[in-house]
C-alpha cells in the first residue's frame, strides 16, 4: 500500500463528498506494493481508507467485493467498501478508486501464539466459505502465473540464484506428482502480518484481498505460516508457533495426507514465489522511475534466505 499517485486534501474532499463524508485530514499509507492508499479522517472523527488501483480497471477492482460480502456474512473481520450512487468503485484521477472503513488494531509484530491460532482459524474459515464461490478473475496469480514470472526473471539471475530456482521448481514437479490430493479454492495469497490487525490477541481485521485467486489452499497456508511464525531478519521457523498454527487450522479444515506430505515443500515454494515477486516489483519500479519515501520496496534477499532455509527440510 505505497503511494504512487499523489492526492491533495482538496481532491479527496471533492471525491468523498458524494459519500456524505466531510474529510478534514489525509495521510499516506506505507506498506504493501501494489496500490495507492491513504487514511482519511472525517469531521465526525470517523476514519476510512481510500484506495486507488494502479494496475486494474474498474471491473477488476470491483471483482472481489462480493467475496468481502460473503466473508463478512460469515463473521470474518473484512473491510467491505462503501457505496456511492449504488456503486462500490468510482474514478479518481482516471483510476478506479474506493473508500472502505478503517479497521482498528495493529499489525502483530512480533506475533504471539494466540494470534497465530486466531489467523489460522480465520484462514480455514475463509477457505471453506470461498471453496465453491462463483468468481472469475480477470487475472489469476496461480502457479502458472508464478512460473511465468520465474521464467521472465531467470535471465537476470546469477549462476547461484539460477541453480537455486531450478532446484526449487524441480522438487515441486517431482513431489506434486507423487502427492496429487491438494484441494483448490479461492485463497487470499498475501496474508502476511501487515495485512492483519489485532487488538491484543483478538483478530480485528483482514486486509488487502487484491491478490485473491483460485489456487491450492496449501499455498495460502504456507504463505501465512511462513510469515506469522518467522521473526525477521532471522528466517528460521518458530516450531511452537508453526504447530499452533497447523493445529488451529486443522480444527476447522483438516489437511489431506498429501497436503501434509507437501507442506515443507510449499513453505519453500511460498518463499520462492515472494522472492520472484519482490525482484519483479524492484525491476518494475526501476523501469518506471518510482522512487521516494512513499514507495515501499520489500527486500527480495529476505525471501531468498527463507527459501534456502526451508529447502533444508525438503526431500524428493
Contact between 225 and 246 (Cβ < 8 Å): yes
Per-residue pLDDT tens over the stretch 200-228? 999 999 998 988 989 999 999 999 999 99
Could you tell me the pTM of the whole model?
Answer: 0.88
Q: What span, in angstroms and rounded, lies between the C-alpha atoms of 183 and 235? A: 28
Q: What pLDDT does residue 288 have?
A: 64
Rounded mean pLDDT, 68-97: 96
Tell me which of 3.90.1200.10, 3.30.470.20, 3.40.50.740, 3.10.110.10 is the CATH number of domain 113-311.
3.90.1200.10
State yes or no: pLDDT of 293 exceeds 70.
Answer: no
- CATH 3.30.200.20 domain residues, the chain: 9-101
Q: Per residue in 113-124, pLDDT tens?
A: 999 999 999 999
Question: What is the rounded average pLDDT for all residues in the chain?
Answer: 91
pLDDT score of 51: 93
pLDDT at position 143 over 60: yes
State the average pLDDT over residues 283-310: 75
Q: pLDDT tens, 21-53?
A: 999 999 998 755 678 999 999 999 999 999 999
To the question of domain 9-101 being in CATH 3.20.20.80, the answer is no
* Start-end of CATH 3.90.1200.10 domains in the chain: 113-311
Residue 165: per-residue pLDDT:
94
Identify the burial level of 39 via C-beta atoms within 10 angstroms of its C-beta, where 0-12 means exposed, 13-18 middle and 19 or more buried: middle
Q: What is the mean pLDDT of residues 269-276?
A: 94
Residue 147 pLDDT > 50? yes
Average pLDDT of the residues in 181-199: 96
Q: Residue 294 has what pLDDT?
A: 47
Provide the pLDDT for residue 297.
60
Q: How confident is the model at residue 287 (pLDDT cuts 50, 70, 90)?
A: low
Amino acid at each position: 500500500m505505497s503511494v504512487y499517485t499523489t492526492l491533495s486534501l482538496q481532491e479527496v474532499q471533492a471525491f468523498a463528498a458524494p459519500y456524505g463524508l466531510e474529510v478534514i485530514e489525509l495521510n499516506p499509507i506505507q506498506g504493501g506494493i501494489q496500490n495507492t492508499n491513504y487514511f482519511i479522517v472525517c469531521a465526525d472523527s470517523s476514519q476510512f481508507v481510500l484506495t486507488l488501483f494502479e494496475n486494474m480497471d474498474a471491473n477488476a477492482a470491483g471483482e472481489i467485493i462480493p467475496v468481502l460480502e460473503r466473508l463478512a456474512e460469515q463473521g470474518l473481520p473484512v473491510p467491505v467498501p462503501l457505496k456511492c450512487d449504488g456503486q462500490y468503485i468510482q474514478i479518481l484521477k482516471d483510476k478506479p478508486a474506493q473508500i472502505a472503513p478503517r479497521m482498528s488494531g495493529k499489525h502483530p509484530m512480533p506475533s504471539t501464539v494466540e494470534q497465530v491460532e486466531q489467523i489460522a482459524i480465520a484462514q480455514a474459515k475463509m477457505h471453506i466459505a470461498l471453496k465453491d464461490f462463483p468468481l472469475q478473475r480477470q487475472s489469476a496469480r496461480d502457479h502458472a502465473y508464478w512460473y511465468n514470472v520465474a521464467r521472465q526473471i531467470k535471465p537476470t539471475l546469477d549462476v547461484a540464484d539460477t541453480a537455486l530456482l531450478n532446484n526449487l521448481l524441480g522438487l515441486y514437479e517431482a513431489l506434486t506428482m507423487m502427492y496429487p490430493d491438494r484441494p483448490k479454492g479461492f485463497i487470499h495469497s498475501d496474508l502476511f502480518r501487515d495485512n492483519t490487525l489485532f487488538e491484543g490477541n483478538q483478530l480485528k481485521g483482514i486486509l488487502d484481498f487484491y491478490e485473491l485467486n483460485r489456487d491450492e489452499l496449501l499455498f495460502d497456508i504456507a504463505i501465512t505460516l511462513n510469515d506469522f511464525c518467522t521473526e525477521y531478519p532471522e528466517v528460521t521457523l518458530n516450531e511452537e508457533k508453526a504447530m499452533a498454527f497447523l493445529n488451529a487450522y486443522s480444527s476447522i479444515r483438516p489437511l489431506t495426507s498429501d497436503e501434509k506430505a507437501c507442506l515443507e515443500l510449499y513453505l519453500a515454494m511460498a518463499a520462492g514465489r515472494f522472492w520472484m515477486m519482490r525482484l519483479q516489483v524492484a525491476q518494475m519500479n526501476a523501469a518506471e522511475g518510482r522512487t521516494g519515501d512513499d514507495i515501499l520496496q520489500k527486500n527480495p534477499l529476505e525471501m531468498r534466505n527463507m527459501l534456502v532455509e526451508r529447502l533444508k527440510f525438503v526431500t524428493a
